[in-house]
Amino acid sequence: MNVKRTFVLPLVVLTSICLIVSAALAYMNMITSPVISTAAAERAQVTMSEKMPDATGFQTIELSELSGHADIPASIREAYKTSNDIGYILIAAVNGFSGDITIICAIDNGGKIISTATLSHTETKGIGTILEEDSFLDTFTGIDDKLEGVDTVTGATISTRAFIHGIEDIFNAFDIISKDSQWGVSR
């Protein structure tokens, strides 16, 4: 009986505690997950409107239904066409130094960037914050897929290189989308 008290009883108590805590965490996740998703979607809509202020609305492009969907880079998460046919919004997530960098980019029908922003990142504070600064983001405004004049930033080379690769992926996806019979533009 003594072995049972010293070994089995604590094991049963700890297992019970773990099960109760796991169930509580799962329940909290079930409750908060939709709220978090809704808030993220609302933030994305606001950001899309900020990045392309002349747009009257956005239509979701189902990437899996595009004729060239197999060639769309894996980093592309979402794509939208403006309701008034003035351009596209693409969202990509690329690996930076410390984790994912999520980028939003507005491109006009001619293939030039209207504006871009970093939606989220986990880069090192102080170094990775360059991804949020206008001095870096403004270098992309008005450029096309050649990315002339865009370069990495010393001290944040890995982060800015990842951002640039994300923009390259966005242009690759834009090229496929703009040639698609349903979503494409007439140039």
The pLDDT of residue 65 is: 84
The pLDDT of residue 150 is: 79
Higher pLDDT, 165 or 125: 165
User: Is the predicted pLDDT of residue 68 greater than 80, yes or no?
Assistant: no
Residue-range domain boundaries for the chain: 1-41, 52-179
Name the pLDDT band for 180 (thresholds 50, 70, 90).
confident
**DSSP bridge partners of 107:** 88, 113
**DSSP bridge partners of 82:** 58
Whole-number average pLDDT of the chain: 86
Close Cβ partners of 94 (under 8 Å, ≥ 6 residues apart): 75, 100, 101, 103, 162, 163, 165, 166, 169
The pLDDT of residue 130 is: 78
pTM: 0.76
Type of residue at 76: I
Torsion region of 63: left, alpha or beta (phi above 0 gives left; psi -120 to 50 gives alpha): alpha
The pLDDT of residue 116 is: 94
Q: Are 137 and 116 in contact (CB under 8 A)?
A: yes
CA distances 8 to 19, 93, 96, 101, Å, are: 16, 48, 47, 48
Torsion region of 50: left, alpha or beta (phi above 0 gives left; psi -120 to 50 gives alpha): alpha
